[in-house]
Chain A
Amino acid sequence: MTRPLVMTVDDSPSMRALLRHALTAEGYVVAEAEDGVDALDRLDAAAPDLVITDINMPRMDGFGLIEAMRGDAKWRALPILVLSTEFSDEKKQRARAAGATGWIVKPFDPAKLTAAIRRVLV
């Protein structure tokens, strides 16, 4: 059985390493990008089953990434979770309008994160 591939998008190498550790421990394959522009460059090659993205990033933030992905038929239905320190309703509504699947507030709990992934990958 093929293991699901999760692309993590975060400008912090420390956060990407933390996510990589948590996700590989649960059997997921991980691809990484450091901002929205980098993620768009890597999407075709990685062909992820799910994207987990930060919001505050240089060059292209998480909102821009979600909007760009939803504007491309290839990624219109791909689950996208936002993982951010932000927790305002205004930001969540903006992500929802852009087409995000869900929102998780940092700091993340590995068990809750993998439970959330299982929920959106069904």
Chain B
Amino acid sequence: MTMPAPATRPRLRPDGCRYYGIVQGARGVSADPQVMFSTVLGSCVAACLYDAEAKLGGINHFLLAEPQPGQQIDAQAAQRYGIHAMELLINEMLAKGARRARLRAHLYGGANLHSGMHAIGSDNAAFAVRFLADEGIPLVLRDLGGRSARRVDFQPALGRSRSRIVTDTLADAPPPRRIPVPVAAASAGDLDLF
């Protein structure tokens, strides 16, 4: 199993599963049936991808953009980041034996937690649905939108996922601290001329 930073140390549960937390910007890929990925989503989206033949699954947790009040989203930049986040997950799965044509997807998150703000969650969810359609990856399960945070658990080797509402009072909570969107590498976009 690989777990690009930032990631959490696993928690061992009574059922023998090792739970790995997937924070924003992270991803996890595994074929180990004792591994469970877990993440908490507000306006972010998590894509769970699964190849039933390879018995391999992966999850990410991404946010296209989180503008300050009154700030405009750079739609092109946001889309570039979203595609990048999905491509990293797909490439890692393909490198471990998955086949693109066999991938199936579950999508979670995309809630609009704060009334009066730009519907960031809707933007994230719409991007993820559109991306899967463009890539020809069937979306077989979705739990998107709403106004509440979700906890998502994903058992990658079995392709099983579930979500549950964390609390229904978050919609009235103050906006969260802004978290910078990570990039792949400090040199991203620069030309390395040979």
A104, B190: Cβ atoms closer than 8 Å: yes
B contact residues, range? 20 to 34
Cα distance, A7 to B90, chains bound together (Å): 23
1/0 per residue A64-97: CB within 8 Å of B? Answer: 0000000000000000010001010000100110
Instruction: Please count how many residues in chain A sit with their CB below 8 Å of the partner chain's CB atoms.
Output: 33
Known: A92-B192, A107-B80. A13 touches B135 (CB 8 A): yes
Cα distance, A116 to B193, chains bound together (Å): 9
For the complex formed, measure the closest distance between the CB of B99 and the CB atoms of chain A, giving whole angstroms. 8
Question: In this assembly, does A63 line the interface, its C-beta being within 8 Å of a C-beta of chain B?
Answer: no
Question: In this assembly, does B173 line the interface, its C-beta being within 8 Å of a C-beta of chain A?
Answer: no
Binding site for B on A (CB under 8 A): 11-15, 17-18, 21, 56, 58, 81, 85, 87, 92, 95-96, 100-110, 112-113, 115-116, 119-120
Known: A85-B184, A107-B81, A107-B183. A15 touches B87 (CB 8 A): yes
Name which residue of chain B comes closest to A107, CB basis.
B84
Known: A18-B83, A85-B84. A12 touches B135 (CB 8 A): yes
B79, A18: Cβ atoms closer than 8 Å: yes
Residues of chain B with a CB closer than 8 A to A58's CB: 100
Cα distance, A102 to B193, chains bound together (Å): 4
Q: Jot down 23 A-B pairs with beta carbons below 8 A, ordered by A.
A: A12-B87, A13-B134, A13-B135, A15-B83, A17-B134, A56-B94, A56-B95, A85-B88, A85-B91, A87-B187, A87-B188, A96-B194, A101-B194, A102-B191, A104-B190, A105-B184, A105-B188, A106-B188, A107-B83, A109-B188, A109-B189, A115-B191, A119-B193
**Residues B37-89 near A (CB distance < 8 A):** 76, 79-81, 83-84, 86-88
Residues of chain B with a CB closer than 8 A to A112's CB: 189-191
Residues of chain A with a CB closer than 8 A to B187's CB: 87, 105
Residues of chain B with a CB closer than 8 A to A17's CB: 134
B185, A105: Cβ atoms closer than 8 Å: yes
10 tightest CB-CB pairs across the interface, nearest first? A116-B191, A109-B189, A107-B84, A112-B189, A96-B194, A103-B192, A102-B193, A87-B185, A107-B80, A105-B188
**Contacting B83 at CB < 8 Å: which of A14, A81, A113, A119?**
A14
Known: A13-B134, A17-B134. A101 touches B188 (CB 8 A): no
Q: Identify the interface centre among B79, B88, B188: most chain A CB within 10 Å of its CB.
A: B188
Residues of chain A with a CB closer than 8 A to B87's CB: 12, 15, 85, 106
